[in-house]
Amino acid sequence: MDLIADAKRIEPEIIRTRRTLHQHPELAYHEVETSKLVADRLEFLGIKVRRNVGGTGVLGVLKGAKAGRVVALRADMDGLPVQETSDVRFRSKVDGVMHACGHDTHIAMLLGAARLLSERRENLYGTVKFLFQPAEEHGGRGGAMPMIEDGVMKDPKVDFVFCLHIEATRKSGEFGVREGAIAAAPDTFKVRILGKGGHGSAPHETVDPIYVAAHVILALQGVSARMIDPVRPFVITVGAVHSGTKENIIPDVATLDGTIRTLDEATRKLAKRRVEEVAKGVCRTFGASAEVEFEKDAYPVTVNDPKTTEKVVAVLKRIPETRVRRVDAMLGGEDFSRFLQKAPGTFYFLGSRNPEKGCIYPNHSSKFKVDEDVLKFGAASLAMLAFEFGNPRGSSREH
Ligand SMILES: [Zn+2]
Ligand SMILES: [Zn+2]
């Protein structure tokens, strides 16, 4: 009945699943074979399955024998457009696509947790919902929003929601947890600078949008340096500049693509307003005009419920051979935030950095490599959270 011992027993299966997925990564919204593997495996475990949820998502529902709360566990399933250059034997077989963020490990760990829980159905309180979501890396509507619209957080209503992310820069076997904001709202913007084209030898007859763009890029950093409270994390990056065709032609238009990252809604709102004002103001100064557009449906800030997360820390501390660390927030985005807007819960990390095994490359690197020895602990942690939070009396030590 020892859950950790059982997690160790099924470790080979977890690793095998992970490697199969790693060899066959699929991009956002195209997780067809991946979700088939997931759904088939859940059905094999006797878990009720709904396929094609919000597109390529899968929902599994496991009812415990005892009455209790509804706990949802989430794994994301998409790979990235990266050509793998790692030295593992089970390298990606798909050209230009790689599980470079470790979502293959998330699926394998959650399927492991599903097995551990389905074998304990008799002692399980409440209901566990397994959310296998598409398109976490996509941004915008992502994969969480379509699944929520498809009803996964209702009927029965989810009381708590959890997910774990593998983190290649954290020490192997170390859990990273934080109460409150843990990941940023990633707001993408586009500035279209409208000038007036002409001959490169006669700039006075034109409004040069490239020259103006240079000023806008510099001025936008002033939003960070001079307009946002320095104790509020904020970053602005212009990651793409497009304009022009030839050295002696002044073009009509220049476009800038950028992103801002914030950890609270007030700063987010203020920053978006300032970006627009600065871009338009600078353009006006030089006789150009600007259209500023923020992407609709950007991911919200990922906020861990403090009370729930405190309890998560206590649960994670029970897992031997691992450690729990309080961590700083990151300015990356996560659409798990959308589930957290529907129910209290926790987004936490599991470290997999192990220099002895060459696991030293960060998430999204083409050399990204995971210390697979930690996967069993990840699977166990998810199962333990379902057990713990499903129990209406709080602490079930039966596992
Ligand atoms: Zn990622
Ligand atoms: Zn990820």
Task: State the DSSP string of 67-128.
Answer: EEEEEEEEEE---BS-------TT---STT-B--S-HHHHHHHHHHHHHHHHTTGGG-EEEE
What is the 136 CA–ligand 2 centroid distance (Å)?
7
Q: Give the pair of three-digit tokens for residue 267.
A: 């700063």
The pLDDT, as a whole number, for residue 364 is 96
What is the 57 CA–ligand 1 centroid distance (Å)?
18
- The answer to whether residue 37 scores a pLDDT higher than 90 is yes
Q: What is the pLDDT of residues 223-257, one digit of tens each?
A: 999 999 999 999 999 999 999 999 999 999 999 99
Peptide bond before residue 156 is cis, with ω within 30 degrees of 0: yes
The set of catalytic residues is: 299, 372
What is the 67 CA–ligand 2 centroid distance (Å)?
33
Q: Give the pair of three-digit tokens for residue 214.
A: 């240079």
The pLDDT, as a whole number, for residue 333 is 95
Instruction: Please check whether residue 276 is in contact with residue 292, taking contact to mean a CB–CB distance below 8 angstroms.
Output: yes
- Cα first-last separation, the chain: 6
- The answer to whether residue 136 scores a pLDDT higher than 80 is yes
Question: Model confidence at 399, in pLDDT bands (50, 70, 90)?
Answer: very low
Ligand with the closest atom to the CA of 186: 1
76 Cβ contact list (under 8 Å, min separation 6): 103, 106, 132, 133, 134, 135, 136, 137, 143, 163, 336
Residues with a beta carbon under 5 angstroms from ion ligand 1:
101
What is the 364 CA–ligand 2 centroid distance (Å)?
8
The pLDDT, as a whole number, for residue 240 is 97
Question: Model confidence at 395, in pLDDT bands (50, 70, 90)?
Answer: low
CA nearest neighbour of 194 among 241, 252, 246 = 252
Rounded Cα gap, residues 146 and 273, in angstroms = 28
Q: What is the pLDDT of residues 85-105, one digit of tens each?
A: 999 999 999 999 999 999 999
Q: What is the pLDDT of residues 264-303, one digit of tens each?
A: 999 999 999 999 999 999 999 999 999 999 999 999 999 9
Ligand with the closest atom to the CA of 105: 2
- The answer to whether residue 397 scores a pLDDT higher than 60 is no
The pLDDT, as a whole number, for residue 393 is 83
pTM value is 0.93
What is the 281 CA–ligand 2 centroid distance (Å)?
37
What is the 369 CA–ligand 1 centroid distance (Å)?
14
The rounded percent of the chain whose pLDDT value lies above 70 is 98
- The answer to whether residue 348 scores a pLDDT higher than 60 is yes
Question: Model confidence at 391, in pLDDT bands (50, 70, 90)?
Answer: very high
- The answer to whether residue 398 scores a pLDDT higher than 90 is no
Cβ-based burial of 295 (10 A; exposed 0-12, middle 13-18, buried ≥19): middle
What is the 166 CA–ligand 1 centroid distance (Å)?
10
